[in-house]
Amino acid sequence: MPRVVTLAHYYTAPEIQQMADKVGDSLELSLFARDADADIIVFAGVRFMAETAKILNPNATVILPDAGSTCSLVTQTDVTTLKAWRESYPDHVHVSYINSSAEHKALSDWIVTSRNVDDIIAHLYAEGKKVIFSPDRNMGAYLNFQHGYDMPLWSAVCEVHDKFNQTALDEAFAAVKTAKYLIAHPESPLPVLQQADYVGSTSGMLNWIKTFDKEPDAAIFVATEDGILYNMRLARPDLNIEQAPIYAGCQCNSCPYMKMNTIEAVKRAQAGQGTVIDYLTPADMDAARAPIERMLEFSKRYYA
Ligand code: 13P
Ligand code: SF4
């Protein structure tokens, strides 16, 4: 029998998370995939996550349950144009968010996740380096604003987080009579991040909720994909945790790509059927692995 390991991101539905051996943020899942003693890794997430797992554990068969599970940060980035952009800054270090294709990673000097982006870019600036950042414009704008950096930014956004809106938030805050807090993922727009009490990765936000010790009746607004509200409410059923509002239309902040991981698709993948990540050549994987490993080496301290 093949050894099958199933990984799920926090943005998948609760029933999918319950089928997984490991639930986590992008960095945790990459590390788990790298170290997994498995013949088959089922990645209930999106394609760039499954590709990263394959790059880090090339001997395993990595299966994405649904071929359509992409990410808008990937689809909004034309790699030929990105290459020309990167070449127009020959004396800069190119830092790319992990939400990028393998080809994109191969054009990068460092890969970062929302967990370590702050520390890695601070480290590069401390070394006197000049930095360009891709693909997430919102994340890059927040770093420039927070730290006074001058990084040229690529311009793609997460179609889910980009919907959060300051005016809608102001209205929601005004309607609350108790204390209120906002926590946000750094893929959200800058005006929303400027208002946040905490900005961080999915695991970082979950940890903030777990350790919340202020007003017990406070309203806590969360600006991120709705899947993780399940984990937050499970961890702290005593708290009033709300999805942050968006500007118009439905109040739904589901990632359509994460939600393609249905029970049936994950079960099929566990039986060996689905999108096998078998299209990356050894040379493609080597080129993409170097900047990922630079990040993992730097991030060891998070797991020390
Ligand atoms: P995390 O690394 O914070 O889990 O984020 C992944 C992601 O896709 C957010 O939209
Ligand atoms: Fe991509 Fe946004 Fe979905 Fe994350 S939530 S996978 S960034 S589209």
Tens of pLDDT, residues 82-109: 999 999 999 999 999 999 999 999 999 9
**Residue 298 in domain:** no
What is the domain range of residue 45?
4-70+258-278
264 and 212 within one domain: no
Whether residues 174 and 238 share a domain: the answer is: yes
**253 pLDDT band (50/70/90 cuts)?**
confident
Tell me, what's the pLDDT at 248? 65
Using a 10 angstrom Cβ sphere, with 0-12 exposed, 13-18 middle and 19 or more buried, the burial of residue 248 is exposed
One domain for residues 228 and 272: no
Nearest CA to ligand 2 atom 1: 71
255 lines ligand 2 (CB under 6 A): yes
Residue to probe by mutation, ligand 2, list 49, 158, 252, most atoms within 8 Å of CB: 158
107-126 pLDDT, tens digit each: 999 999 999 999 999 999 99
- State how many domains the chain has: 2
How much is the pLDDT for 304? 45
**How far, in Å, is the centroid of ligand 2 from the Cα of 211?**
26
Q: Are residues 237 and 265 in the same domain?
A: no
158 CA → ligand 2 middle, Å: 5
The answer to the question of residue 48 being in a domain is: yes
**CATH number of the domain to which 215 belongs:** 3.40.50.10800
Mean pLDDT of 189-196: 97
8 & 40 share domain:
yes
Residues 16, 60, single domain; the answer is yes
Does residue 224 lie within any of the structural domains? yes
Nearest-CA neighbor of 168 among 88, 107, 106, 248?
248
Q: Tell me which residue has its CA closest to atom 2 in ligand 2.
A: 158
The pLDDT tens digits of the residues spanning 13-62 come to: 999 999 999 999 999 999 999 999 999 999 999 999 999 999 999 999 99
Residue 303 has pLDDT above 60, yes or no: no
**166 belongs to a structural domain:** yes
20 lies in a domain? yes
- Together in a domain, 175 and 237: yes
